[in-house]
Amino acid sequence: MRVLTWLGRHDPGYSALRRAGRAAIAVPLLFLLGSRVLGNPEIALFGAFGAFAMLLFVDFGGPVRERIQAQVALALAGAVLICLGTLASTQLWLSAVAMAVVAFGVLFAGSVSSVIASSGTSLLLAFVLPVTLSGTAASIGPRLLGWGIAAAVSVLAVSLLWPAPVREPLRGPAMEACRALAARLRADGVVPAPGPDVAVPGGDSSVAALQRTFLAAPYRPTGLSAPARTVVRLVDELTWLDAVIAQFARHGRDPDAGLPADAAAWRMRTAAAEVLDEGAVLLGQHGGDPTALEAALARLADERSRVEVATLAPAPMPPGTGGIQAAEEFAAALGPGFRAQELAYAVATVAGNIALTARAERRTWWQRMLGRQPGGLSGPLAAATERATGFVGPNSVWLRNSIRGAIGLGLAVLLAKLTGVEHSFWVVLGTMSVLRSSALSTGQTALRGVIGTVVGVIVGAAALFVIGANPVVLWLVLPPAILIAGIAPAAISFAAGQAAFTIVLVLLFNVIAPTGWTVGLIRIEDIALGCAVSLVVGVLFWPRGASASLRSAVGDAYLASMEYLRAAVAYGMTRCDRTAPHRSEPRQQSLEAAAASRRLDDAFRTYLTERGTKQRPLAEVSALATGVAGVRLAADAIVELWRGQPAGDGDRSAARDALDARLGRLEGWYRSLSDALTARDPLPVPDHADPSAESALAAAVLGEAADPSGATATAVRIIWTADYLEVVRRLERAIVAPGAPPGA
C-alpha cells in the first residue's frame, strides 16, 4: 500500500504505470517472436522498439475511438518513415540531410496539434532506427513486418490492457468554472471594490484551476478535431468572463433605485446563470444534446434585447435639452446597459462554443468522413494550415526549437556514421533526449543523462554478475526491468529513467548475444557523443531559450491585438458613418492576432519548463501573457456589437475622431509596453481615465442623444464602443505589476 500511495502521488492516474505495464508485456513477447520463432533479428529489433515507440513513448487521450485512430495513424506514419529511413541509410550525406528534414517536419508539425506533438518522439524513433542501421530495399520488408506486428499489438494493448479512462484535461475544469461563475451571478453580494480605476480580476479558484491545467502541458492541449478546437477556446473566454462578472457586480446599480435599464440589466444575471449551468451539464456529457443550452441562449438573447429596449425607451436626455453635462449624464446612464450586453456577449460566446462542441461530437460517422463541420467551423486542413503558418516568424519559439532539433539530429547521424560506433542509433537517441530550448537546460539535462547511464551500466553489470549467462533468467528479469524503466522518468527523475533504460538495453542485447557488461560501455560512449552534439547545437543556436524570446512574443502579441482592435473600431464606424472609409469585417486582423497569441502561448510554456532562476515573479509574467486575450476579446465584442447593423447615412466624424483619440492613447501605451519589453526597460505606468475624452465623445453624440427619431441606438453603440476601449485601458493596471501601486 505504501508503494501504491507513493506511486499515486508521483504518477497521477497511474498513466506511466499503465504504459510501462503494457510495454513490459509486449516488448519481450515481440522480441521473442522475432528472434526465436521467426529467427530474424531485424523483425525482433523493429518489433521491440516499435512497441517501445507506440506503447511507452506516447499516451493519447480522448475517447477510446479517437485513441485507436491516433494509434493507427501513428503506425502508418511510422511505416512510411521506416521506408524512407532505410532508403536513405546507404549514403552518409543523404542520411544526415534526410534526418534533418524529417526531424524538422515532425517537430514543426507538432505546432498544429497536441496529438502530433505528443507522438513526436515515437515518429522520430521510427526514422532514427532505420536511418542509422544501414540497409537496402530488401531490408524494408522485415523492418515493416516487425513494426506492423508491434502496431497491431499496441492497438490491442491500448484497447484491452487496462484501458485508460477518457482524458480531456480541459473539459472537467471548464465545467467546474461554468458552475462557479453561474453561482457568482446568482449571488446577491458584490465583489469588493478596490477603487474606481482598477481592472478587477475575478480571482475565482475554478477559473484559476482551468488556467493551471491549460499551462501544465508542454504544448497547447488541442487537436485538429472540431471538439478539441472549440473546447480550447473556453480557457480565454472563461477567464475573460470571470473579469466581466466582477466588473458587472462592481458597477451594477440598485435595480430598485435606478432607471428601467438598471433593473433589466440586473435581471439578466439569472438568464446568464442558466446558460452557464446548462453549459456545464453539456460539458459533462460526451455528445450530449445541446437543445436545452440553445433554448437558454435564446432566453438570454431575449433578455439582452429587453436591456437594449429599456436603455433606449426612456430617453435619458429629453429633447430640447443640451449642454455637455447633459450629454455626459446620458453616456453615464448607459453604463448598466453596457455591462449587461458585455456580460451577455461573454456568456453567449462561452455557451456557443460548448454547443458547437456537442454538435461536433454528435456527428454521424458519414458526416465525419465527409468533413462536415458544425456552425461554419473550418475544416481540419484549414485549421492546420492556419496554425502552422502562424508559427512562421523570427520570434516563434516553436520554429526555433524545430530548427535546433533538426540540426542536432542531423549532426548526430553524421557523427555516428563517421565514427562508426556500434549501435549508432544510441548517439541520435542521446541527442534527442537531452536537447532542450536553452543551452543551460541542455547542459544540465546532458549531465544527468550521462550520470544516469553510468549508474545504469554499473547496476546492469552487477545484475549480469549475479545472473550469469543463464538465458532463462535474463528473459524473466527483462519484463520487470522494462516496467521500472517505464515508470522511473515520470515518477522519479530523468536520470533515473536513463539508468533504468540502460539496464534494459544491457539485458536485451545480452539476450541477443551474450557480451556481458561491455555493451554498457558502448552505450556510455554513444550517449556521451549524443550529449556533446546537443551541447554544441544548444550553444550555437538560440542558447538563451524562450526567456529571451518571451519579451518579444508578448510585445508582438499586444501590437497584433491592438491592430485588430483598431480594425474593429474602424469596422464599427463604417456601419454608422457615411464619411468613414469603407472597412469590411476584420477577419485577417483577427487571424493575425490569434496567431500572435498562440506564439506567445508557446513561448510562455517553454519559459515555464526551462530551468534556471526566473528574473521576474511568475505572477507578473503570467499577467503580461494572459492580458493579450483581454484585448483580443474586446475587439471581438466590438465587431459583434456592430455586425448586422445597416450602413449609416449620417456624418459622425466627430464621434469617430473622439474614438480615434482614445485609440491613439491606447496604442501609444501598448506600443511603449512592447518597446520596454524588447529593450528590457521599466514597464510604462498605466494611464488614468481622461475626463476630456469623455467630454469629447459626449459632445460628439449630443445631437444623437436628444433626437427622438430613433437615432439614439447609434449613439448607444458608439458609447458602448468607447466603453470597450475603456475596458482595454483598465486592463493596463492588471498587466503591469498586478496588485502593486502605480509606478511600482
pLDDT (tens digit, 9 = 90+) per residue, 167-226?
788 888 999 999 999 998 887 544 333 344 434 343 468 888 888 888 887 778 888 788
Residue 310 sits in a domain of what CATH number?
1.20.58
**Residue 24 domain-assigned (yes or no):** yes
**Residue 451 domain-assigned (yes or no):** yes
Residue 266 and residue 187 share a domain:
yes
Least confident of 331-345, 409-423, 671-685: 331-345
Average pLDDT, the chain: 83
Distance (Å, rounded) from C-alpha 633 to C-alpha 242?
A: 13
Residue 459 and residue 474 share a domain:
yes
Q: Which of 541, 576, 592 is at the close of a domain?
A: 541
Residue 310 scores a pLDDT above 70: yes
Q: Average of pLDDT values for 406-425?
A: 89
Highest mean pLDDT among 75-79, 476-480, 500-504: 75-79
Residues 6 or more apart whose CB falls under 8 angstroms from that of 718 comprise 576, 652, 655, 659, 697, 700, 701, 704
Q: Which domain holds residue 348?
A: 171-360
**Residue 742 domain-assigned (yes or no):** no
User: How does residue 295 score in pLDDT terms, banded at 50, 70 and 90?
Assistant: very high
Residue 532 and residue 596 share a domain:
no
Residue 525 and residue 448 share a domain:
yes
Cell of 409: 539530429
Nearest by Cα to 561 from 636, 634, 631: 631
Q: Which of 475, 509, 541 is at the close of a domain?
A: 541
User: How does residue 148 score in pLDDT terms, banded at 50, 70 and 90?
Assistant: very high
**Residue 384 domain-assigned (yes or no):** no
Helices (H) and strands (E) in the chain, counts: 30, 0
CA dihedral 448, 449, 451, 457 (to 10 degrees): 160
Length of the chain: 744
Residue 476 and residue 419 share a domain:
yes
Q: Which of 492, 515, 541 is at the close of a domain?
A: 541
* Residue 632: per-residue pLDDT: 93
Distance (Å, rounded) from C-alpha 679 to C-alpha 670?
A: 14
Residue 561 and residue 526 share a domain:
no
Residue 531 and residue 589 share a domain:
no
**For 506-547, what is each residue's pLDDT tens digit?**
888 777 766 766 777 888 888 888 889 988 998 888 887 777
**Residue 396 domain-assigned (yes or no):** no
Distance (Å, rounded) from C-alpha 594 to C-alpha 565?
A: 12
Q: Average of pLDDT values for 697-707?
A: 65
**Residue 699 domain-assigned (yes or no):** yes
DSSP 619-688: HHHHHHHHHHHHHHHHHHHHHHHHTTPPPP-B--HHHHHHHHHHHHHHHHHHHHHHHHHHHTPPPPPPPP
**For 11-60, what is each residue's pLDDT tens digit?**
877 888 999 999 999 999 998 899 888 989 899 999 999 999 999 999 88
The total number of structural domains in the chain stands at 4
**Residue 117 domain-assigned (yes or no):** yes
**Residue 112 domain-assigned (yes or no):** yes
* Residue 612: per-residue pLDDT: 59
Residue 280 and residue 195 share a domain:
yes
Residue 568 and residue 531 share a domain:
no
DSSP-assigned beta bridge partners for residue 167: 62
Angle between helices 494-512 and 518-540 (to 10 degrees): 140
Residue 208 and residue 60 share a domain:
no
Residue 320 and residue 175 share a domain:
yes
Residue 177 and residue 53 share a domain:
no
Distance (Å, rounded) from C-alpha 237 to C-alpha 350?
A: 6
CB-based contact 684:676 (threshold 8 Å)? yes
Backbone angles phi, psi at 250, to 5 degrees: -70, -40
